[in-house]
């Protein structure tokens, strides 16, 4: 282990030297003592390193606490740092959730190296030093270009909005900003019905599932979940948590349930809700929402149409009123172009009436529309209101992004994403790589799931891509997770061609796969 370096102030040279000497001796004795609680620990399955721990080049199979790489005066006392908590077997993540762990571990730390660095002039391990990698940003620090299916790269102005000074969440300036953001969401979802209602709540896209299940279903209600990948499984799990009975209609991998199969299912049983993932982030499969909604209205008009648009809103055509949708839920960090942290949802008048007609109490407190509906209505009317504190900084970022999005026709934004998607998909096809979504009508415009060449796995591709300054995502579908990667192309990477994000990523992928032994046709 390299010696530790002290960062004393300019007038504390002697103290710094003393701290350095004591710190090195104490740290080395403690960290190399086999009985010390901070001894080297093996990595847990599925993770490249324990959270809060840093790889050291001297051992690729163990982890040391990142505290050991900090100056002595910046570290917490050793005794206060607990050992990593392990869940009991009955609470271990399911096999589906563990795929996310494997996906995350596919890309090692930016500074990871298999070679030991014995340069004593570099006393602080590179994993805690500033990183300056490839980027085309105008004002952001240089960093690898993030081209996973969310979170995405963010516009400079959006990120600058996050640094807005602190405001009261019930003060007139913030209420004005929040109200305008809610109104602009109507343009994003293409709804002019004053009885529909946008919701923006602090949380992830998953909170949208809870809102739907908690507010629109009751114990024993039947729900039909159309399955195009990983996230349909999770949505079905959410319904079951609230006592609803979820029936999944599954399609083969890379395909979507056909309309005749949906019609047959709707005729066999009365469903309160039908849910469909517009674009499943795990597969890149696009569902045909317009035709599907029309079918539901024809065959089972009382069934509510719920769209999981987490990976589609802002990049795929979606017309809330015209298509007769009842709920579309999404999140901030993908096509909406805002850092993660906002659950965004649009509810129709029919959905709200269904909620109001419930016979039982909503089995959730934070997700209950009983609490949130008047708050959202008041904010949109630019009246101060309070149930739970929103994030003013995230709302400012949302306002900035929506201002950019609505500054031109939404159809132009959809067209930009379609053009970018065709560029990526054509490049992959010309290079001989196949898509997981094989039919053109099933292919999303905001992402592309790409099969790797035979016998090649994401672990062979993602780390070299990272060294080239590009971050892709590994596979997430449990049956084929090691066979493909995912390329996200949404938001500013698409709408600002000066960034050159897509061309750089395409070239990097071709080069990396070739270096791994693939020969293009």
Q: How many Å apart are CA 468 and CA 133, to the nearest integer? A: 9
Give pLDDT tens digits for 405-419.
999 999 999 999 999
Same domain, 113 and 225: no
Nearest alpha-carbon partner for 105 in 59, 43, 38, 39 = 43
Same domain, 350 and 495: no
Q: Let me know if residue 260 belongs to a domain.
A: yes
Name the 3-class secondary structure at 292: helix
Contacts with 492 (C-beta within 8 Å, 6 or more apart), sequence order? 152, 153, 154, 155, 337, 499
Give pLDDT tens digits for 47-99.
334 333 333 333 333 344 443 444 443 344 333 444 444 545 544 545 444 45
Per DSSP, the residues of 142-161 read: P--EEBSSSSB---HHHHHH
Nearest alpha-carbon partner for 234 in 265, 280, 192 = 280
Instruction: Identify the pLDDT of residue 138.
Output: 64
Q: Let me know if residue 455 belongs to a domain.
A: yes
Same domain, 418 and 510: yes
Number of structural domains found in the chain: 3
Query: In the numeric block, which tokens belong to residue 417?
Result: 């994403």
Give pLDDT tens digits for 19-46.
444 344 434 433 344 433 333 333 333 3
Say if residue 35 is preceded by a cis peptide, omega within 30 of 0: no
Q: What CATH number does the domain containing 415 carry?
A: 3.90.1150.10
Q: Let me know if residue 474 belongs to a domain.
A: yes
Same domain, 208 and 310: yes
Same domain, 204 and 110: no
Q: Let me know if residue 88 belongs to a domain.
A: yes
8-state DSSP, 132: -
Same domain, 89 and 21: yes
Q: Let me know if residue 390 belongs to a domain.
A: no
Helix 369-380 and helix 172-189, axial crossing angle in degrees, nearest 10: 100
Same domain, 351 and 209: yes
Domain that holds residue 251: 193-367
**Percent helix, percent strand, percent coil in the chain, to nearest 5:** 40, 15, 45
Same domain, 81 and 27: yes
Q: How many Å apart are CA 364 and CA 18, to the nearest integer? A: 56
Check if the beta carbon of residue 66 is closer than 8 Å to that of residue 125.
Answer: no
Nearest alpha-carbon partner for 338 in 205, 192, 186 = 205
Give pLDDT tens digits for 341-384.
999 999 999 999 999 999 999 999 999 999 999 999 999 999 99
Same domain, 213 and 355: yes
Q: Let me know if residue 162 belongs to a domain.
A: no
Q: How many Å apart are CA 45 and CA 98, to the nearest integer? A: 9
């Amino acid at each position: 282990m390299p010696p530790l370096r002290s960062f004393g102030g300019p007038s504390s040279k002697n103290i710094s030297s003393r701290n350095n000497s004591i710190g090195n001796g104490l740290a080395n004795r403690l960290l190399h003592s086999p009985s010390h609680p901070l001894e080297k620990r093996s990595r847990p399955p599925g993770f490249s390193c324990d959270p809060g721990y840093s790889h050291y080049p001297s051992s690729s199979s163990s982890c040391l606490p990142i505290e050991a790489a900090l100056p002595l005066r910046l570290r917490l006392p050793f005794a206060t740092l607990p050992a990593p908590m392990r869940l009991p077997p009955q609470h271990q993540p399911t096999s589906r959730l563990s795929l996310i762990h494997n996906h995350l571990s596919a890309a090692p730390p930016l500074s990871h190296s298999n070679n030991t660095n014995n340069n004593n002039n570099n006393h602080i391990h590179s994993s805690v030093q500033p990183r300056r990698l490839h980027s085309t940003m105008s004002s952001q620090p240089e960093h690898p270009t993030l081209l996973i299916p969310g979170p995405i790269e963010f516009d400079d102005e959006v990120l600058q909005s996050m640094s807005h000074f602190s405001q009261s969440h019930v003060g007139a300036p913030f209420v004005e900003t929040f109200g305008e953001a809610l109104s602009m969401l109507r343009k994003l979802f293409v709804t002019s019905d004053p009885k529909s209602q946008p919701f923006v709540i602090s949380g992830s896209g998953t909170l949208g599932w809870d809102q739907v299940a908690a507010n629109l279903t009751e114990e024993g209600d039947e729900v039909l979940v159309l399955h195009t990948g990983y996230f349909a499984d999770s949505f079905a799990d959410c319904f079951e948590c609230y006592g609803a009975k979820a029936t999944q209609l599954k399609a083969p991998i890379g395909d979507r349930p056909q309309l005749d199969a949906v019609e047959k299912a709707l005729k066999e049983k009365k469903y309160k809700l039908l849910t469909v993932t517009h674009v499943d982030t795990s597969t890149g499969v696009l569902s045909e929402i317009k035709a599907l909604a029309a079918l539901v209205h024809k065959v089972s008009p009382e069934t509510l149409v719920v769209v999981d648009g987490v990976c589609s809103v802002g990049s795929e055509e979606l017309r809330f009123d015209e298509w007769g949708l009842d709920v579309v839920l999404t999140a901030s960090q993908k096509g909406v172009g805002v850092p993660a942290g906002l659950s965004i949802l649009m509810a129709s008048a029919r959905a709200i009436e269904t909620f109001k007609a419930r016979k039982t109490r909503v089995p959730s407190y934070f997700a209950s529309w009983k609490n949130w509906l008047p708050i959202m209505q008041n904010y949109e009317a630019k009246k101060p209101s309070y149930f739970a504190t929103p994030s003013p900084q995230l709302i400012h970022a949302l306002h900035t992004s929506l201002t950019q999005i609505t500054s031109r026709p939404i159809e132009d934004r959809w067209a930009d994403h379609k053009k970018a998607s065709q560029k990526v998909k054509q490049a992959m096809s010309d290079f001989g790589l196949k898509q997981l979504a094989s039919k053109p009508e099933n292919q999303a415009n905001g992402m592309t799931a790409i099969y790797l060449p035979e016998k090649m796995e994401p672990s062979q591709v993602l780390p070299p891509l990272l060294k080239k300054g590009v971050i892709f995502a590994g596979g997430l579908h449990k049956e084929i997770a090691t066979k493909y990667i995912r390329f996200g192309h949404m938001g500013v990477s698409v709408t600002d061609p000066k960034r050159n994000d897509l061309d750089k990523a395409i070239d990097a992928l071709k080069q990396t796969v070739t270096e791994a032994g693939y020969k293009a046709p």
